Chain A
């Protein structure tokens, strides 16, 4: 609701004089006020309670009253129970201050029906600045108000619907996440059981070749376990940090081998891959490292073996590269006993759409794997 003051230039006040017209029936200005479609009244603040002293036909049509019912009364009869007290206060203040006021107010007709009145009141003063009358015009803006209310109601309804939907989705997401963790917990426990079964079985077996077979199996399963321990631990459950995983894997394999003379050299950029790539990558790195441990290093004259196993992970240009290298005997001298392991490596490379190359590193061997990888996301946290 507005409350504005207007100030007209001084010569505007004298326009009527310039026309030199009569008062009475021939007065064009009075005729205009009487006949206009705009509802208008005039009140006299010098009489008690500022009563209406003139009301045009449009006012009577708008409010439903007869002329004799409104003359002499203060226009507060237009107010009713639902009229906003603040709007009434604005009018009262303006009249006391003898200022213009423009306000939307809810008014009541004679028949009790309501309408929104865009009311404009301005004081009429003489040349001495004394207020003689108040002029008020009224405009029925019920349609506009209805539209405004409808828009606000729609907006509120919409916001409430959005809030409810958001709460539903959040609850569904939480339920899904809980379920995911539940299933994941089962899988992890089951992987632990598979490892346990193999270790238990191996303890009962005396034959070296069979024990060796079981150990190879255990290593592969522990590679899977290491993946799963880290899977779904980061905020984004669909992604997996390979560098942390590679550190764990190499540490486990080297320590389990008991060959303290072989040292790891790790150059691991923090790289994230999609969860579905984690398992094949893990199995492949496990095969390559265990291969190197088995075949690359020859025992020295003092019975110990020394050497280095290197793992490098980098991501040049939309690719994810893994290099597993050793400084041992080199490919020519290596044992050809790699048939199942080699098949596994090559199949896994196909699954990952990876190129794989064995290179002579003189001394030793370097295996280079390159696969396409998605760009990294910012601000990933894990553990």
Chain B
């Protein structure tokens, strides 16, 4: 049994963060923090130990999600997955993130993504099929080339 993931949620909408936390926990993982702005996110990256961070582009201090991804990438503390309704705002190189889960995602879409990410983080490359609504960055596409 692969070790569960420790997840940091960076999302400005409380309702969505709550539900995401429930889904993450139902899938057997744990949530180590929830940030709503880039400033909060930066301090949480220091104080928590997350495997992956789900990062929305639009936060309470503006469209700063990409900056957060850069910051996390520099600190090399965890891997980033963007979670946004606006995937077009992500730069071509994805700021070093694994990829993006487009909103609105379905329950099944998210649980499949969690399984895929767990495989990719703990024992890359993932063996499950890439889930619907999940797009890999070019860098990770090359390394985690889909199983099917």
**Which chain A residues have a beta carbon within 8 Å of chain B's beta carbons?**
181, 184-186, 188-189, 191-193, 195-197, 199-200, 203, 218, 222, 225-226, 228-229, 233, 247-248, 251-252, 255-256, 383
* Between-chain CB contacts (< 8 Å), 7 pairs: A192-B16, A195-B104, A196-B15, A222-B107, A226-B133, A247-B132, A248-B133
B residues less than 8 Å from A255 (CB atoms): 108, 112
A residues less than 8 Å from B109 (CB atoms): 248, 252
Contact B85 A252 (CB under 8 A): no
Number of interface residues of B (CB under 8 A): 24
Number of A-B residue pairs with CB-CB distance less than 8 Å in the complex they form: 76
Contact A225 B108 (CB under 8 A): no
CB-based nearest B residue for A200: B19
CB-based nearest A residue for B12: A189
Minimal beta-carbon separation of B125 from chain A (angstroms): 21
Minimal beta-carbon separation of A223 from chain B (angstroms): 9
B60 interface residue (CB < 8 Å to A): no
Minimal beta-carbon separation of B56 from chain A (angstroms): 9
Minimal beta-carbon separation of B111 from chain A (angstroms): 8
Contact A225 B106 (CB under 8 A): yes
Cα(A186)–Cα(B16), bound, Å: 13
B144 interface residue (CB < 8 Å to A): no
Of the listed residues A181, A197, A218, A225, the one surrounded by the most CB atoms of chain B closer than 10 A to its CB is A225
Contact B106 A188 (CB under 8 A): no
Contact B15 A195 (CB under 8 A): no
Contact A256 B108 (CB under 8 A): yes
Contact B133 A193 (CB under 8 A): no
Contact A191 B104 (CB under 8 A): yes
Minimal beta-carbon separation of B110 from chain A (angstroms): 10
CB-based nearest B residue for A257: B108
B6 interface residue (CB < 8 Å to A): no
- B83-111 residues with Cβ-Cβ distance < 8 A to A are 85-88, 102-109
B139 interface residue (CB < 8 Å to A): no
Chain A binding surface, main DSSP class: helix
Of the listed residues A184, A229, A255, A256, the one surrounded by the most CB atoms of chain B closer than 10 A to its CB is A229
Cα(A189)–Cα(B112), bound, Å: 20
Contact B86 A226 (CB under 8 A): no
Of the listed residues B18, B86, B102, B104, the one surrounded by the most CB atoms of chain A closer than 10 A to its CB is B104
B49 interface residue (CB < 8 Å to A): no
Minimal beta-carbon separation of A268 from chain B (angstroms): 14
Contact of B88 among A181, A192, A197, A218 (CB under 8 A): A181
Please name 9 further chain A to chain B contacts, defined as beta carbons within 8 Å, in addition to the given A185-B85, A199-B22, A251-B108, sorted by A numbering. A181-B88, A184-B86, A189-B85, A200-B22, A222-B106, A229-B103, A233-B88, A252-B108, A252-B109
Contact A226 B88 (CB under 8 A): no
B residues less than 8 Å from A225 (CB atoms): 104-106
Minimal beta-carbon separation of A50 from chain B (angstroms): 71
CB-based nearest B residue for A225: B104
- B50-100 residues with Cβ-Cβ distance < 8 A to A are 58, 85-88
Contact B104 A228 (CB under 8 A): yes
A residues less than 8 Å from B112 (CB atoms): 255
Contact of B85 among A184, A195, A200, A222 (CB under 8 A): A184
Contact B104 A256 (CB under 8 A): no
CB-based nearest B residue for A184: B85
Contact A192 B103 (CB under 8 A): yes
Minimal beta-carbon separation of B116 from chain A (angstroms): 13
B40 interface residue (CB < 8 Å to A): no
Q: Would A196 and B19 be within 8 Å (CB), given that A251-B132, A252-B108 are in contact?
A: yes
Q: Would A218 and B107 be within 8 Å (CB), given that A189-B13, A200-B19, A248-B133 are in contact?
A: yes
Minimal beta-carbon separation of B35 from chain A (angstroms): 17
